[in-house]
Structure 1
C-alpha cells in the first residue's frame, strides 16, 4: 500500500469508517438536528454548525494549498454565524462536507507522492504536513462536536 492510499484510508475512517477513536464525522453529524447544530451551549463559544462550516472551509483551503494555490486565510478563521438554520440549510452543509470528502479522496487517488515534499510558500510546511494536518484538524473538531452534541441533546 502506498502512502497516498494509507492517507485515503485515514480520511475515510475518520469520515465514515472505523477510526481508532471510534467516532466519525458522518455518524456524529447524522444524529444532530438543525436546531441542535445551531445552539450555542457555551457563551462566546461556537455552535456545531459553525464548526462544521469551519471544517469545510479549511478542507477546501488546504486542498487548494496542496494543489499549488496560495490562499489568504480570512481574519475570522472561517468561523461565521449561521444566518439560515433551516432543515434545508443543514442538509446543504452536510452535503458540502460530503463534497469535500469526495474531493480529497479524488485528489489523493491522483496525487504524485513525489510532491509530498513540496513546501507551501507561506508557512514552509510540506504538502505531507498539510495533508496530515487537515486530518488532525478534523479529529480535533470532531471531539468538540461530540462534546457540544452531548450538551445540546440533554
Structure 2
C-alpha cells in the first residue's frame, strides 16, 4: 500500500468506515434532521448545518490547492447562515458532502507520490500537510457536531 492509498483509507474511515475515534461523518449526520441541523444551541456558536457547509467548503478549497490553484480564503472562513432550511436542502447538503468525499478519493487514486512534497505558495505548507490537515479538520468538526447533537432536540 502506498502513501496515497493509506490516506484514502483515512478519508474513508472518517467518512463511513471504522476510525479509531469510533464515530463517522456519515453515520452521525444521517441521524440529524434539517430542523436539528439548523438549531443554534450555543448563542455565539455555529449550527451543525453551518459546520457541515464549512467542512464542504474547506474540502473543496484544499482539493483545489493541491491541484495547483491559488485561492483567497474568504473573511467569513466559509461560515454562512443557511437560508433554505428545508429537509430537501439538508439532504442536498449531505449529498454535496458525499460528492466531496468521492472527489477526494478519486484525486488520491491518481495523485503522484512525488507531488506530496510540492508546496502551496501562500503558506509554504506541503501538499502532504494540506491533505492531512483536511482530515484533521474533518475530525475536529465532527467532534463539534457530535457534541451539538446532544444539545439539539
Per-residue deviation, residues 33-86 of structure 1 (Å, max 9, x unmatched):
000000000001000000000000000000000000001100000000011100
Structure 1 unpaired stretches of 5+: none
Aligned partner of 2:140 in structure 1 is 140
CA distance in 2, matches of 1:26, 1:108: 20
CA distance in 2, matches of 1:133, 1:115: 16
Aligned partner of 1:126 in structure 2 is 126
CA distance in 1, matches of 2:3, 2:128: 10
CA distance in 2, matches of 1:98, 1:113: 25
Aligned residues: 153
TM-score by length of 1: 0.99
TM-score by length of 2: 0.99
CA distance in 1, matches of 2:83, 2:108: 34
> Is 2:149 the counterpart of 1:149?
yes
Aligned partner of 1:24 in structure 2 is 24
> Is 2:15 the counterpart of 1:15?
yes
CA RMSD of aligned residues (A): 0.4
Structure 2 unpaired stretches of 5+: none
Q: Shift of the alpha carbon at 1:115?
A: 0.3
CA distance in 2, matches of 1:58, 1:46: 16
CA distance in 2, matches of 1:67, 1:82: 29
Aligned partner of 1:93 in structure 2 is 93
Q: Shift of the alpha carbon at 1:91?
A: 0.5
CA distance in 1, matches of 2:71, 2:15: 25
